[in-house]
Chains A and B, each alone.
Chain A
Amino acid sequence: MALAMVTIGETRTITELRVKEEMKKHLQDLGFNVGERVRVVGENPSGLILLLNGARIALNRGLATKISVA
C-alpha cells in the first residue's frame, strides 16, 4: 500500500520508492530506505508528518503516494 494511506499512529516498512532518480536520492539521504520502519505521527491539509530513524519529516501526500509500504 502507499504510505499516504497509512493511518496515523501506525508503523510500516518501506518496500519501494517509486520516484525519479533525483528524488529517490534525496529520500534515501533523509533515511527512506527499503526495509526501514516508518511511522505516521501526524497529518494536516499540507500532508503527513513521519517519524523515521528518530527524525521528524514532513511531506506532501502526493509524494507519500509514491512510497510503498507493507
Chain B
Amino acid sequence: MSYTVALAGNPNCGKTTLFNELTGSKQHVGNWPGVTVDKKEGAYKKNKEINVLDLPGTYSLSPYSAEEIIARDYIVKEKPDAVINIVDGASIERNLYLTVQVLETGIPTVIAMNMMDEVESRGDSIDCEKLSKIFGVPVVPIVARVGKGLEELMKVTGQVAAEKQKPNEIRIYEQNIEEAVEEIMDFLTEGSKDDRRWTAVKLLEGDEIILESLQPEQAKMVQEIVEKLDSQCQGDAEAAIADQRYRYIVQTVGEAVKKAHKGHAETGSSKLDKIMTNRVLALPIFALVMYLLFAATFSENFLFIPGLPSPGVWLAGIVETAWGALTGLVEGGLTAIGASDWALGLALSCMDGVGAVVGFLPLVLVLFLLLSFLEDSGYMARVAFVMDRIFRHFGLSGRSFIPLLMGFGCSVPALMASRTLENDKDRKITMMITPFMSCGAKLPIYMMFAVTMFADGNKTTIVFGIYMIGLLVAVLSAFLLGKIIKGNGVSNFIMELPSYRVPTLKSVLIHAWEKVKGFAVKAGTIIFGSTVLIWLLSNFNFGGMCDMEDSFLASIGNAIKVIFIPLGFADWRASVGIVTGWIAKENIVATFGQLFGGVSDEVVEAVSAGEQALPAITSVFTPAAAWAYMAFNLLCMPCFAAVGAIKREMGSWKWTLRTIGYQMVTAYVVAFIIYHLFGLFY
C-alpha cells in the first residue's frame, strides 16, 4: 500500500528543509519567506511507499494568495492520505493558526514540532503529549535542520495514513457562529460532513472562491446568513472567526507550553538587527558585503593585496590548466590513432567551445556559494527592508531587491523569486529588469574581453563597470516603466524577518551545487551541441567543406551584421555570437573560441597566464566596440531558459513579448550610446 503525505506549514518553519531531509532530493533551501512556490514531490528515502509532497508555505488557508489556494485546494480536493503540519515551535502561536485550519478540514494529520533545539535553548518547553491529546493527532518533536526525530515522525505518519486517523472535531466557535455553520451545512449537498463543515466555515469567512462555486440560489441564502452573522459580530464575522481561533490557540498554548521568561526576550537576532538595519551603518555594511561577494568571485588582487587571486580566480586557473592538459591528451590520442583532419578539427573545436565554458565554472561556483550563504543566513530579508526606502524612489518595493540580487547568479530562479511580490505592477517591472542584473553566465564574456582587449587595465574594474552599467540601466528602467505601465504602484512594505541562522554547510553546498550543476549540464549538452552545430556551419557550405569565410555561418552572420553597424561591431562572427548567446549566454565565449580560435591549448594557457586569450578579437573590435558588445549582450533578450521563466511568471505572451522588446531596444540604444561615447576617449 502506498501513501501520499503532504507537508503543510508557515513560510520559514523549516518545511523545505524537512522535505529535503525526507526525500534526499536536493531542493533549494532558503530563508526568504515563501521560497516554496511549486508543488514538489519525492519518495521518502527510507520507505519508498510514502510519497511526500511539499505544499507552498502559507500562514492560513484563506484564498488571498496563490500559495494559499494551492495548499488548500490540495488538502481539501485531492485529499492526501495524511498531512504533516510543520510547526515552528519557536513561534508556536502564529504557526498554530494554520494548524487549526488544517485540523478543521478533518484530514488525518500529524504535527511535526520543529526547531525544538531553539525552543530548548531559550529555556522554553512544549508538552507535545498534551498538545496531542487536545488536537487528537500525534505531535512529534523534531529538529529538521539536523534530521532529528524524522524516523519517528514518518513511522507515526505511516500509521495515521494507514488507519485514516482523524483529528478531534474542533468546536471553538461561539454559539451564534456554530448555528450559522449548521444552517449553511444543511443545504450544502456535496461532500462528507467534514467537507461541508469546512465549506460552511469558509463561507462565513467571506470566501469568494467557494461562494462563486455555489448555485445562485444557494449563494443567495449563504449571503443572507453571513449578513445576519455580520450584524451579530459588530459587522465582521470573518474577524470574529479569526479572533476565536486565536483565542483557542492562546488557551492551548497556555496549557501546553512553558515559557522561561514572560514577554519578549532580547535574542541574538535583535542584537544583530541593531547593527545590520542601523540607520547609519546599514548601507555601508551592505556595500561591504557586495564588494566581498564580487571580489571573492573575480578579483585578481583580492582584499586589495596585489597578486593575491580570489578563491574564484584561483580555482579557475587550476581548472583551465587541467582542461588544457586534457585537450593535449585528446589531440595526442587522435593523432596517434591517425584520425582524419576534419575529425581532429571537430574534436579540438568542441574542446575549445566546451572548455571556454568549463574554465569559468569555478567563478560561477564561488558566486553561487556566496549568494546561497546570504540567502540562507536571513540577511537578504534585512537588505530588502533597508533598501525599501531607496527603491521607493524608483517606484519599486524593497522586496524587489531579492530577485534582483539573485539575478547576479542566474535569472531563472531570480524571475521565479519575483512571485513573492504582491503588487502586480511591481512584479512586472521587477521581471523586466531582472535580466539587466548580469548573471553568472555573462561573466565569461566580460572576462574574455577583459583578458584579451584590456590586458593592461584592471580587469576587476572592467567587469565591475559592466555590472554598474546593468544596475544603472535597471534603475532608470524601473523609473521609466513605472511611468508607462498602468496600475497602482507599491503601497506598503511588510515582511517577516527570519531569525539569523548560520547556514549549515550542507544546505549551502546543496543550494549552490543545484545551480552549478545546471551550468555543468549545459556545458555538456546544449553548449556541446551548439559547438558541433557551429563547427559544421562554419566549416561547410553547399559545396562541401570550405574556408570559414565562405561557410554557411558566415553567410548568416553577414546577412544580419548590418544591424550592428551603428554599434561598432558589424562582424559576422560577433553577430553569430549574439544569436548563440540566446541559447545560453556562455555560448558566446564558446562561439568566439571556435570562430576566433587558434590552437586550443595555447588559448587555455594564455588565459591562465592572464594574457590575450583570443588575439584575433582585437582585429575586429575596437575597445569602444568591445564595451558596446558587452553591454548589448548584457541587456538584450536573456537566454531561452530565462525567456521561458518570464513567460511562466508573466502568464501571458503579450507581456513576455513586451519584455523582450523592451530589452532589445534598451540594449541597442545603450550599446549605441556607449560605442559613440567611449569612441571619444579610446
Given contacts A11-B264, A29-B59, A47-B385, contact A57 B64 (CB under 8 A): no
CA distance A29 to B61 in the complex (A): 10
Interface of A (DSSP majority class): mixed
Q: Does A53 contact B (CB under 8 A)?
A: yes
Which 8 A-B residue pairings sit nearest by Cβ, starting from the closest? A29-B59, A54-B91, A56-B497, A58-B385, A46-B388, A63-B492, A59-B494, A60-B493
**A30, A54, A57 interface centre (most CB from chain B within 10 Å):** A54
A23 and B274 alpha carbons, distance in the complex (Å): 28
Whether A46 touches B493, Cβ cut-off 8 Å, given contacts A53-B91, A53-B93, is: yes
Measured in the bound complex, the distance between the Cα atoms of B382 and A55 in whole Å is 14
- Say yes or no: B264 contacts A54, CB within 8 Å: yes
Name 10 extra pairs, CB < 8 A, besides A42-B273, A44-B386: A22-B64, A23-B492, A29-B62, A30-B94, A34-B243, A44-B278, A53-B93, A57-B495, A58-B381, A58-B385
Q: How does the 8 Å CB contact mask read for B258-273 relative to A, with 1 for contact and 0 for none?
A: 0000011000011001
Q: In B369-396, which residues have CB < 8 Å from any A CB?
A: 381-382, 385-389
B493 near A25 (CB under 8 angstroms)? no
Inter-chain contact B492/A59, CB cutoff 8 Å = yes
Taken residue by residue from 489 to 513, chain B's Cβ proximity to chain A (1 for < 8 Å, 0 otherwise) reads as 0011111111100000000000000
Instruction: Output the least CB separation between B154 and chain A (Å).
Output: 28
- B246 contacts the other chain (Cβ, under 8 Å)? yes
A53 vs B491: C-alpha distance when bound (angstroms): 25
Q: How far is the CA of A9 from the CA of B472 in the complex (A)?
A: 39
With A11-B264, A28-B242, A56-B499 already in contact, the answer to whether A44 and B494 are too (CB < 8 A) is: no
Residue total for B at the interface (Cβ-Cβ under 8 A): 42
Report the bound CA distance from A24 to B278 in whole Å: 29
Taking CB atoms, residues of chain A closer than 8 Å to B498 are: 56
Question: Quick check: is A27 within 8 A (CB to CB) of the other chain?
Answer: yes
Given contact pairs A54-B91, A54-B264, A47 touches B493 in the complex (Cβ within 8 A)? yes
Q: Mark B456-496, 1 if CB is under 8 A from A, else 0.
A: 00000000000000000000000000000000000111111
22 A-B residue pairs with CB within 8 Å: A11-B263, A25-B64, A29-B59, A30-B494, A31-B93, A31-B97, A33-B242, A34-B239, A35-B243, A41-B273, A44-B282, A46-B387, A53-B91, A55-B91, A55-B496, A56-B273, A57-B495, A58-B385, A58-B495, A59-B495, A60-B493, A62-B492
Q: How far is the CB of B280 from chain A (nearest CB, A)?
A: 9
Q: Within 8 Å of chain A (Cβ to Cβ): is B106? A: no
State which of A27, A47, A56 has its C-beta within 8 Å of the C-beta of B388.
A47
Q: Which of A1-52 contact B (CB under 8 A)?
A: 11, 22-31, 33-36, 39, 41-47, 49, 51-52
Asked if B223 is at the interface (CB within 8 A of a chain A CB), the reply is no
User: CB within 8 Å of A: which of B262-301?
Assistant: 263-264, 269-270, 273-274, 277-279, 282
In the bound assembly, the distance between CA atoms of A55 and B273 in angstroms comes to 13
Q: Which residues of B contact A57 (CB under 8 A)?
A: 494-497
B90 in contact (CB, < 8 A) = yes
Of chain A, the residue at the smallest CB distance from B59 is A29
Enumerate chain B interface residues (CB-CB to A < 8 A): 59-60, 62, 64, 90-94, 97, 238-239, 242-243, 246, 263-264, 269-270, 273-274, 277-279, 282, 381-382, 385-389, 398, 491-499
Query: B101 → chain A, closest Cβ, in Å?
Result: 11
Number of A residues near B (Cβ < 8 Å) is 36
A56 to B491, CA, bound (A): 21
Which residues in B have their C-beta under 8 angstroms from that of A63? 492-494
CB-based contact B496/A56 at 8 Å? yes
**CA of A49 to CA of B62, assembled, Å:** 26
Indicate which residue in B94, B270, B277, B278 contacts A55 across the interface (CB closer than 8 Å). B94
When the two chains form their complex, are residues A45 and B385 in contact, meaning their CB atoms are under 8 A apart?
no
Complex Cα distance A26/B91, Å?
A: 17
Question: Smallest distance from the beta carbon of A3 to chain B beta carbons, Å?
Answer: 12
Question: What residues of chain A lie closer than 8 Å to B274, measured between beta carbons?
Answer: 42
Per the bound structure, the CA–CA distance linking A6 and B303 in Å amounts to 43
Q: Which residues of B contact A28 (CB under 8 A)?
A: 239, 242
How far, in Å, is B273 (CB) from chain A's closest CB? 6
Q: Chain B contacts of A39 at CB under 8 A?
A: 263-264
Cβ contacts under 8 Å, B387 to chain A: 46
Contacting pair B264 A44 (CB below 8 A): no
